[in-house]
Structure formats: structure tokens, C-alpha cells
A and B are shown apart, each in its own frame.
Chain A
Amino acid sequence: MAEVLLEVNHLRTEFKKRKGKVTAIDDVSFHIDKGEIVGLVGESGCGKSVTSLSIMRLLRDTPGEITNGTVLLGGKNLLELSDKEMHAFQGKQMAMIFQEPMTSLNPVMRVKDQIVEAIRLHLDMDQAQALQHTEKMLTQVGIPDVQQVMNSYPHQLSGGMSQRVMIAMAMSCYPELLIADEPTTALDVTIQAQILDLMRELNQKNGMSILLITHDLGVVAEMCSRVIVMYAGRIVEQADVETLFAHPRNPYTQGLLASLPRLGQHVDMLPSIPGTVPDLANMPAGCKFAPRCKYAMDICTKEEPKLVDMEKPGCKCRCWLVEQQMKGEGKA
């Protein structure tokens, strides 16, 4: 077994609203091994980003609050650290890149000043050393005219270039964990492929773990070794990538995969999952997916299923039907 880098246990994040609280994510538990790329998928509003922001403790400017659970990075519970201790973790042990590379960079600071700032926050370097390090990092992420880019302002860079700069900045202090929140969504397809290649290359070279948040199952299939599927703030299925694509257990995952277009198959209309994601403030009792699920049973609307281990080690699923099937097989 590989060494565990990040371990999230029963994480719950609630958002304060005018009337009471809504639970954005609940009972989120997963782990990431050293050097592993884990995908976190789900449709918009399912809590993917809240999960990543909770791990990074970036909920400050939102009404969000972590009310339960632990986030262990290298054995240390991040949720118990003071703000000051946390600043030392952010950027140094774990870094994050965002969906919109064009707006993730400060428009009034030159590229080199931003990266130097990030470096000098965590590494003991003087200005000249930090500049040198910046140059090295930018070269490493494949930027051709490093000197020119270093002296550019973000609006002078294209989207792909900005994302490379963001990656260079995030990587500059050699974090052990990179959280990539839909890093390629805003980029066009060819640039998307290049950025993904770059991330995989950095992962292989440095052994850096990546939590890749996306709603693009194609990206997951290409990049990740394990996949976590979220729905309405809960993890509904967790499996290695082959198992998930070949034998999805949870009806939600099955629906997701069925709605993907496939090469070589002609269909007039792609199947879709009927209904919409439930309103966070007005969650159904029982299984959150039950109202949209074609297999829904009585128990599904009454009691929420637990995330239970499947036969295959490391695979987990949250579904009454799957649980019953397993019990049935056990008896037989």
C-alpha cells in the first residue's frame, strides 16, 4: 500500500443563510495516496468545489463553515490549525489552481512579481534567487519565451499561457498536493490536452498528488487512477478508474456514464438523467438521488444509505439497491 497523503473524514460544510443553515457537503470521506491522481466528479452544484475549498480552508469570504470532520494532511489535522499555521501550509504543502486562468492572476502585477511573492512566502530566498527560481519554474511548465512572459501583465497572455503560469506558481514551492479545480474547463480542446499532459508529467516527475476536480468524465478516464463521484453533497461512489467505467454500481454513476456520447455508436438522442439536482435547502429525506432514480424503492425515500465497501478493495458505494444485492450474493 502506498503512503496516504491526504485523508478526509466525515467532512461536513454548512452555509449560513438568512433562514437557518444548508448543508453543502456531508459525510465526505476519502483519501489520496502519495503520487496519485484522484478525480472528483459530479454535476454542477454537487459540492466538488466546496470540498476543495474546505480542504484548503478557503471558506473565509463565504458564509460557509466546516462543522464536522477532519482533514489530515501528512497526519496533521488542518482544521485544528490556527490561521497563521495554515498560511504556512497553503502554497507550501498544498496548492490550488482554478477554473478561470485569466482571472486567477492579479491584473495589475507582472507575472514575475506574483510568482516571486508566492516563492518568498514559503521558501527562504532573496529577490535574486526567487527570480531565478521563477525562471526555472516557468521553463519547466513549457513557456517558450520566459523572459518576455515574466515581464508581461496577465492580460497580455493567452488562456493556456495563464494556466501554465498558474501551474508554475502553484508548483513553485513543491507542494505535495495540487488541487486542480476544473483546470481545463475554460480552455479550448487542444490547450486542454496540453495542460493535462503537463499536469501528468509534473505528477510523474515529482510524485506530486493531484486532486482533479472536473465534470468531464473523459478527462477523468485519461488522467486519474481513482475516481470519486459526488451527488448533492455526498460521495455516492468511489472506485478505481477501470472498475468505475466498466462496472458502475451506483445508479447515478450509471446514468452519468450512459449520458456520454460514444464514438462509433449512433444515437439520435443521448440518454439523460431525468429531473434536476435537489435544492440544498430542501433535501429529500433518505437517498438524495431517490427522486430521480429509476430503481428507487421504499427504503430509499426513508433512510439515507451509507457509503459501504464493495467486494473489490478500495471501492465504495452509497446505494440501498447495491447493498441489498451484495447481501443477497453473500447469502447465496
Chain B
Amino acid sequence: MSEEKGALTVPQEEQALAPRQSRVKAFLIKFLSRKTAVAAACFIILLVIVAFLAPVLQPFDPATPDYDAILSPPNAKHLFGTDEYGRDILSRLLAGSRLSLSVSLSSVTLGAGLGAVLGILAGYYGGWLDSLIMRTADVLLAFPDILLAIAIVAVIGPGLSNVIIAVAVFSIPSFARIMRSSTLTVKQSLYVEAARSLGATNRSIMWKHIFPGTVASIIVNFTMRIGTAILAAASLSFLGFGAKPTEPDWGAMLSTGRNYLGVAPHIVYFSGGIIFLTVLAFNLLGDGLRDTLDPKIQ
């Protein structure tokens, strides 16, 4: 074929249709009509901003004790009161938002990444690899999440980085499952066969053609899992496996606050309350995303 050979003509009516309303716009319109999800999203965005600005926003240093104001209830100086060392609880909660968000985000991202890779491999290749990956996932799913996390931390030792690993590990199976089922669906589609007929390699088919088609299905799980991860990380810290008591972790604060429940219930209220609100927000956002992305629900 050479350039000088003329183009063939196409009659007017076969021209490309005018581009439809962009998908992003359609998604936003649908999503914005869900009030609870929008509220949850706003709360999360606020939390993220707070986490970034924590060093600026916090009225006191979260680690500096003030022995003149031990266990003081909320007052004008300490809005949320102080803990057993006189540390400002508001400042510790603000600093803790960084910790909680980074721990949960990194662990879920790690889990989602590994789970997605394993799921796509299982779905694409099938056979013994599929059996191996999915049966292992079934075994992991048989344990309650938190029990598995405790077991992992018990083996590899306490500490925040190990909490991330533990939470990531128990996130893997759910992502692998979702990814595998989406892969099986997308794999059957004609455009994958067309890509193969053009000589695309397995790797490029998996990552260029199958993976983008499955992303929507894991976004929802990702959001939901962040809530679970925050809860799990808090629980591990509460049980003493995670953050050190000096670190401003929400779970650790809840744990130490428990000892002063009778005299200073505000410690537990505020740390428990923020965990509750954050997890709720992520779950509501997840629900909202699921409803928006599911074409069957209008």
C-alpha cells in the first residue's frame, strides 16, 4: 500500500456520531444525586485535608505532656480535653488522622495491588494456577479478618509497618476474587479475541485490555476496604499490636482511654467517635459508588 493511492469516500450519514456526554460528567451527575454518599465524600475530603494540614492545625504538640492539666475535660483551652499525661486530645486526633489514613490507604493499596495481580492471573490462565490461587484465597477468607491480622502480627511482630502488612494480607483474597470474576467476563469479550488475532501478547492483553475493564469493579471494594482497614488497624493498636502508646493512633488512644473510662470518658468518646465517623464515611461512600457504578441500579 502506498500513500498516493487515494482515500475512499464515505457518504455523510456514516460519519462519526457527535461525541456523547462524557462519562465523567454522567458519573458525577449520578453520584451527586446521592446525598449520603456526597456527605461521606465531603467528610473524607475534609479528613484528608486535615491530615495534610495537621501540623499547622493542631493547637498543641500532640506528644508534649502538660502535667498541670491531666485528664481535664473539654474546656476553652483544650477543646476536646486532655489525656492521662495532659496531652491535648484534639491535637492527637488531628495527628492521628495522618497515621490512620496512611496506614489504611497503604495497606489496602498493597492488598488491592497484589489481589488484582493474582486475580487477573488466575482468571486469565485458569487451570492449576487458578485452583492454587483461589483455594489459597478461600483458606484466607475462612478466617475472620481480625483474627487473621492478629495471627500475622503475632508471627511477624508488632509495629505499624507490620500492621500494614497484616491488613494488606487479609485484603488480598477479596480483591483477588473480584478481579478473577471480572477477568473471566472480560476475557470472553470480542475485543480481547480481536487483540489476540492481531498478535498481542498475553501480558499486553492482560494489562491493556482486561485490566482497565475490571477497574470499576474493584473501586467499590477499595473504598469499603479502607473502612475495614482503619477498624482493623485501630483494633490491632487497641490490642497493643500496632502503634506504640506514645504514637497518636486512634486505636491506641481508645485503648489507653479505656483505663480512665470512669474519670475521663471524653478520651474514649472522641477517639471512638472519630473512628466510627471515618469508617462510616468510607462505607457510605463505597455504597454510593456501588450504586452509581452499577448500571442496573438507577
A residues with CB within 8 A of B: 56, 58, 60-61, 86-92, 95-98, 100, 103-109, 117-118, 121-122, 136, 139-145, 148-149, 152, 155-158, 160-161, 164, 166, 169-171, 174, 191, 194, 197-198, 201, 205-206
Contacts and interface: CB of A to CB of B under 8 A. Distances in A.
A180 to B, nearest CB: 11
A194 to B, nearest CB: 7
Contacts of A166: 194
A148 B16 contact: yes
B193 interface: yes
Contacts of A86: 199
Q: Give the interface residue-count category, chain B.
A: 20 to 34
A104 B198 CA distance: 12
B197 A152 contact: no
B8 A160 contact: no
B197 A58 contact: yes
Nearest to B216: A108
B200 A117 contact: yes
B183 to A, nearest CB: 11
A184 to B, nearest CB: 13
A149 B16 contact: yes
B162 to A, nearest CB: 37
A197 B9 CA distance: 11
Contact of A89 (B196, B199, B201, B209): B199
Contact of B16 (A58, A61, A141, A161): A161
A139 B191 CA distance: 22
Contact of B8 (A104, A141, A157, A161): A141
Contacts of A144: 9-10, 15
Contacts of B8: 140-142, 197-198, 201
B190 A103 contact: yes
A109 B212 contact: yes
Contacts of A160: 14
Interface in B9-36: 9-11, 14-17, 19-20
A65 to B, nearest CB: 14
A138 B196 CA distance: 21
Contacts of A88: 199
Given A105-B191, A201-B8, A145 B16 contact: yes
A61 B198 contact: no
A141 B10 CA distance: 9
A311 to B, nearest CB: 38
A61 B187 contact: yes
Nearest to B10: A142
B16 A152 contact: yes
Interface of B: 1, 3, 5, 7-11, 14-17, 19-20, 187-191, 193-201, 204, 208-209, 212-213
A161 B198 contact: no
Contacts of A156: 16-17, 19-20
A121 B196 contact: no
12 contacts: A58-B193, A91-B199, A91-B200, A92-B199, A96-B198, A98-B190, A106-B212, A117-B200, A139-B7, A152-B19, A160-B14, A166-B194
Contact of A90 (B5, B16, B199, B208): B199
A205 B209 contact: no
A98 B17 CA distance: 22
Given A61-B188, A103-B189, A194-B10, A56 B197 contact: yes
A171 to B, nearest CB: 8
A198 B8 CA distance: 8
Contacts of B212: 106, 108-109
Most interface-central of B3, B9, B17 (chain A CB within 10 A): B17
Given A87-B199, A108-B213, A169-B194, 15 more contacts: A90-B199, A91-B197, A96-B198, A97-B194, A118-B198, A118-B200, A121-B200, A122-B199, A136-B3, A142-B7, A145-B15, A156-B20, A166-B194, A174-B1, A194-B10
Contacts of A194: 10-11, 14
Contacts of A96: 194, 197-198
B189 A169 contact: no
Contacts of B197: 56, 58, 90-91, 95-96, 170
Given A103-B189, A156-B16, A121 B199 contact: yes
Given A87-B201, A170-B198, A143 B10 contact: yes
Contact of B14 (A61, A92, A136, A191): A191
A205 B7 CA distance: 12
Nearest to A86: B199
Contacts of B208: 106, 109, 117
Given A140-B7, A142-B7, A152-B16, A206 B1 contact: yes
B199 A107 contact: no
Contact of A157 (B17, B190, B195): B17
A105 B1 CA distance: 24
Given A140-B5, A156-B19, A117 B191 contact: no
A157 B18 CA distance: 9
A155 to B, nearest CB: 7
Contacts of B195: 106, 117
A60 B196 CA distance: 10
Pairs of residues from A and B, 4 with the lowest C-beta to C-beta distance, nearest first? A91-B199, A142-B8, A90-B199, A91-B198
